């Protein structure tokens, strides 16, 4: 377990360093030059129907030996297999090369990093049910630094894989089991589209959703939420709703996120500029709330030599600030890998690991009642 956590921390470091050093050394424009692929987008075949029946295409699933999503820190254990909810988790960007716009599905380094993220993020849900997490031809990190049409094509290809995996997930989960949806960063972006395209248009499927954790990606209350099929989670035991947050320590400078958000168009075709983002406080499970550090049930933190993992209890507060940014005070010392602007994006789940776990279990209990 200690080695698994070491790998997880290493993965976070790799991604954070890539962004942080590029930004500090090159600035925004030169960072794009350094990270955005120089090749023209190469069209690829759409994911064939039923291809995700192949178990090798899943990073996590209940019957996979060595399932990385089953990792837990000391004092915690996964739930009983086959019980609780079926959980569909979409991992964040783990492909940072500028060689291609999309990750090769069988790239070992990329998939290894993705597995490590499952240990630190998806593991928060393993007490609530069984987790399925697909490999997919994710867009590279540099695709988020440009508005080029090739970037949209890369994201569309990735989303096509996610939808194909979701179809298989529904077959594996069965027709009646409760469902939890979750993702982070690029995974959360794809989840917003999945909610818009699949959940909002299917009343029977919508009725099975316990909650959707759209973490590390902004969701506009005005231009996005009405088209996503679910309400915003306003109370801590509400079901059939969406949670979302983006973590910044103070003093916070979320300008890179906000300026990009303000330049985009929402799901209703209207500009997102000036509209508030959903902000769920993961310490309380409620919207637009504040909570002291004493409400934090446990932040996932590595030991000084990165040889083990512990939960630091009661050390990280959280409150929703202007425009929907989640503010965490001075921020814990998780190492020198915080992104520009005091952005704790890499740690959106680990900061509140135990609270997310309790939140999912509480909402599932309310749903099954």
Q: For residues 105 and 54, is the Cβ–Cβ distance under 8 A?
A: no
| Predicted pLDDT at 135 | 97
Q: Is the pLDDT of residue 1 over 50?
A: no
Mean pLDDT to the nearest integer, 249-262:
93
pLDDT more than 90, % of the chain: 71
Mean pLDDT of all residues belonging to the chain: 88
Q: CA torsion sign, 198 to 121 to 364 to 215?
A: negative
Mean pLDDT to the nearest integer, 286-315:
85
Mean pLDDT to the nearest integer, 164-172:
98
Peptide bond into 251 cis (omega under 30): yes
Q: Is the pLDDT of residue 306 over 50?
A: no
Q: Supply the pTM of this predicted model.
A: 0.91
Q: What confidence tens digit (pLDDT) does each residue in 101-157 have?
A: 788 999 999 998 899 899 989 999 999 999 999 999 998 876 676 666 888 888 999
Residues 6+ apart with CB under 8 A from 181: 87, 88, 191, 194, 195, 199, 209, 211, 212, 213
pLDDT band at 13 (very low <50, low <70, confident <90, very high): very low
| Predicted pLDDT at 336 | 66
Q: Please count the residues of the chain.
A: 369
Q: What confidence tens digit (pLDDT) does each residue in 25-83 have?
A: 445 555 555 566 667 777 888 999 899 999 999 999 999 999 999 999 999 999 999 99
Identify the bridge partners of residue 358 per DSSP, sorted by sequence position.
none
Distance, CA of 312 to CA of 300 (rounded, Å): 7
In 3-state terms, the chain is what percent helix, strand and coil (to 5)?
A: 40, 15, 45
Which range in 83-97, 185-199, 296-310 is most confidently predicted, on average pLDDT?
185-199
Number of compact structural domains in the chain: 1
Q: Which structure tokens are listed for 305? A: 């030599």
| Predicted pLDDT at 150 | 82
Q: What is the DSSP letter of 242?
A: E
Distance, CA of 252 to CA of 247 (rounded, Å): 9
Peptide bond into 146 cis (omega under 30): no
Q: For residues 325 and 304, is the Cβ–Cβ distance under 8 A?
A: no
Domain span holding position 345: 2-368
Question: Which tops the pLDDT comparison, 42 or 260?
Answer: 260
Distance, CA of 17 to CA of 330 (rounded, Å): 21
């Amino acid at each position: 377990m200690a080695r698994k956590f070491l790998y997880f921390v290493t993965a976070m470091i790799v991604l954070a360093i890539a962004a942080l050093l590029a930004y500090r050394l090159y600035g925004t424009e030169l960072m794009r030059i350094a990270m955005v692929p120089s090749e023209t987008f190469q069209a690829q075949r759409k994911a064939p129907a039923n291809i995700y029946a192949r178990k090798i295409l899943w990073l996590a699933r209940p019957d996979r030996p060595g399932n990385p999503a089953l990792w837990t820190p000391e004092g915690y254990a996964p739930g009983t297999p086959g019980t609780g909810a079926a959980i569909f988790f979409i991992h964040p960007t783990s492909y940072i090369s500028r060689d291609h716009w999309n990750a090769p599905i069988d790239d070992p380094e990329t998939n290894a990093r993705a597995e490590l993220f499952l240990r630190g993020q998806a593991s928060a849900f393993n007490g609530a049910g069984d987790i399925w997490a697909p490999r997919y031809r994710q867009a590279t990190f540099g695709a988020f630094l440009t508005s080029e049409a090739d970037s949209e094509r890369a994201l569309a290809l990735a989303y096509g894989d996610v939808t194909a995996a979701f179809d298989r997930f529904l077959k594996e989960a069965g027709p009646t089991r409760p469902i939890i949806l979750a993702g982070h960063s690029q995974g959360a972006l794809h989840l917003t589209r999945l909610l818009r395209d699949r959940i909002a248009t299917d009343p029977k499927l919508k009725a099975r959703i316990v909650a959707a954790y759209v973490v590390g990606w902004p969701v506009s209350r005005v231009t996005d939420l009405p088209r996503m099929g679910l309400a915003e989670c306003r109370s801590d035991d509400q079901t059939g709703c969406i949670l979302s947050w983006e973590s910044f320590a103070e003093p916070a400078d979320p300008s890179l996120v906000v300026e990009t958000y303000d330049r985009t168009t929402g799901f209703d075709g209207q500009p997102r500029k000036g509209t508030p983002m959903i902000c769920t406080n993961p310490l309380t499970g409620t919207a637009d709330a504040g909570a002291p550090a004493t409400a934090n049930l446990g932040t996932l933190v590595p030991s000084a030599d990165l040889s083990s993992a512990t939960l630091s209890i009661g050390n990280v507060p959280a409150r929703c600030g202007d425009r929907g940014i989640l503010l965490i005070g001075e921020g814990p010392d998780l190492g020198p890998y915080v992104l520009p602007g005091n952005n704790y994006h890499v740690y959106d789940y680990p900061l509140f690991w135990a609270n997310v776990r309790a939140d999912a279990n509480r909402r599932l209990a309310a749903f099954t009642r």
